[in-house]
Amino acid sequence: MQKADTVYLGGNILTLDPAQPDAQAIALAGGRVLACGKDHDIENLAGPQTRVVRLGGRFVMPGLIESHTHALWGACRDLFEVYVGYTATSGALAQALRQRTVQTEKGQWISGGPWRYEMRDDLGTTPRDWLDTLAPAHPVALFDTSQHAVWCNSLALSLCGYDEDTPPPDGGVIERDANGRLSGMLAEAALAPVRHSIRETPKQLQQACDYALRYLNSLGYTGFREPMADERTLAAYAEACDAGRWSLHGAAHITAYSPLTDGNVPLAEIDRMRETYAREDLRLGYAKLFLDGVAPAHTASFLDPYQPTNGYDPAVHDPDATLLMSPSVLNDRVAELDRHGYVVKMHAVGDNAIRKGLDAIEAARKANGFSGLRHEIAHSAFVSDLDLPRFAALEAVAEVSPKLWMPNAATHSQKAVLSAEQMGRLHRIRDLLDAEAEVIFATDWPASAPDADPWSGLAGMLNRQDPTQHFAGSLNAAQSIPLEKALDLFTKNAARAIGLAGMTSVLNRGAFADFIILDKDLRNLNPQEIAAIEVQETVWKGQTVFAR
Give the pLDDT of residue 83.
95
CA distance 351 to 157: 33
> Minimal CA–CA distance to 522: which of 19, 132, 62?
62
Predicted pLDDT at 315: 87
Beta strands in 145-217 (DSSP E): 149-152, 172-176, 182-188
**What whole-number distance in Å separates Cα of residue 42 and Cα of residue 459?**
34
Q: What does the alpha-carbon distance between residue 366 and residue 514 come to, in Å, rounded to a whole number?
A: 38
pLDDT (0 to 100) of residue 309: 77
Q: What is the pLDDT of residue 330?
A: 98
Mean pLDDT in the chain? Answer: 95
Please state whether the peptide bond connecting residue 305 to the residue before it is cis, i.e. omega within 30 degrees of 0: no
Question: Which parts of 375-532 are beta strand (E)?
Answer: 376-379, 397-400, 438-441, 515-518
Query: Contact at 8 Å (CB) between 426 and 379?
Result: no
Using 50 as the pLDDT threshold, list the residues of the chain that sit under it.
Answer: none
From residue 408, give the alpha-carbon distance in Å to each of 445, 458, 471, 486. Answer: 14, 14, 6, 20
Q: What is the pLDDT of residue 333?
A: 98
Count Cβ atoms below 10 Å from residue 98 Cβ, excluding itself: 12
Kindly calculate the radius of gyration of the chain based on its CA atoms and give it in whole angstroms.
24
Buried b (16+ CB within 10 A) or exposed e, 243-264: eeebbbbbbbbbbbbbbbbbee
Residue 248, pLDDT score:
98
Instruction: Determine how many CB atoms are found less than 10 A away from the CB of residue 38.
Output: 11
Q: What is the pLDDT of residue 361?
A: 98
Under 8 Å between Cβ of 492 and 505: yes
> What residue ranges define each of the domains in the chain, with the CATH number in brackets?
6-63+509-547 (2.30.40.10), 88-197 (3.10.310.70), 202-497 (3.20.20.140)
pLDDT of the residue at 297: 87
pLDDT at 76: 95
The torsion region of residue 31 among left (phi > 0), alpha (psi -120 to 50) and beta comes to left
SS3 of residue 498 by DSSP: coil
Instruction: Show Cβ contacts of residue 246 under 8 Å, excluding neighbours closer than 6 positions.
Output: 213, 237, 240, 279, 281, 282
pLDDT in tens, 452-488: 999 999 999 999 999 988 899 999 999 999 999 999 9
Distance CA 95, CA 311 (A): 31
Q: For residue 61, what are the contacts with CB-CB under 8 A and spacing of at least 6?
A: 13, 14, 16, 507, 515, 516, 518, 522
Backbone phi and psi for residue 118, each to the nearest 5 degrees, phi listed first: -70, -15
| Nearest alpha carbon to residue 121 among 475, 416, 408 | 416
pLDDT for residue 262: 65
